[in-house]
Copies of this chain bind each other. A is one copy, B any other.
Amino acid sequence: MQIGELARTTATKVETIRFYEKIGLLPEPGRTSGNYRDYGAAHLARLSFIRRARDLGFTLDQVRELLTLSDDRSRSCSAVDTVARAHLAQIDQKIADLRALRRELDELIGQCSQGAISDCRIIEALGPSAQNGH
> What total of chain A residues lie within 8 Å of the partner, measured CB to CB?
63
A122/B81 in contact, CB under 8 A = yes
CA A66 to CA B63, docked complex, whole Å: 38
| Contact among B45, B53, B92, B122 for A102, CB-based, below 8 A | B92
The oligomer's copy count stands at 2
Residues from chain B with Cβ under 8 Å of A72 in the complex: 117
B105/A98 in contact, CB under 8 A = no
Distance (whole angstroms) from the CB of A62 to the closest CB of chain B:
11
Which of A18-26, A30-38, A107-115 touches B?
A107-115
| Contact among B76, B113, B134 for A77, CB-based, below 8 A | B113
Interface residues of A in 36-75 (CB under 8 A from B): 40-46, 48-49, 52-53, 56-57, 66, 69-75
Question: Is residue A16 within 8 Å, beta carbon to beta carbon, of the partner chain?
Answer: no
CA A99 to CA B57, docked complex, whole Å: 12
Distance (whole angstroms) from the CB of A60 to the closest CB of chain B:
14
Residues from chain B with Cβ under 8 Å of A52 in the complex: 125-127
CA A73 to CA B43, docked complex, whole Å: 59
Q: Which residue of B lies closest to A44 (CB)?
A: B130
Residues from chain B with Cβ under 8 Å of A75 in the complex: 116-117
Residues from chain B with Cβ under 8 Å of A125 in the complex: 52
- Name 14 extra pairs, CB < 8 A, besides A53-B126, A69-B117, A95-B99: A43-B133, A45-B132, A49-B127, A49-B128, A56-B108, A70-B120, A72-B117, A74-B117, A75-B116, A76-B116, A77-B116, A77-B119, A80-B112, A91-B98
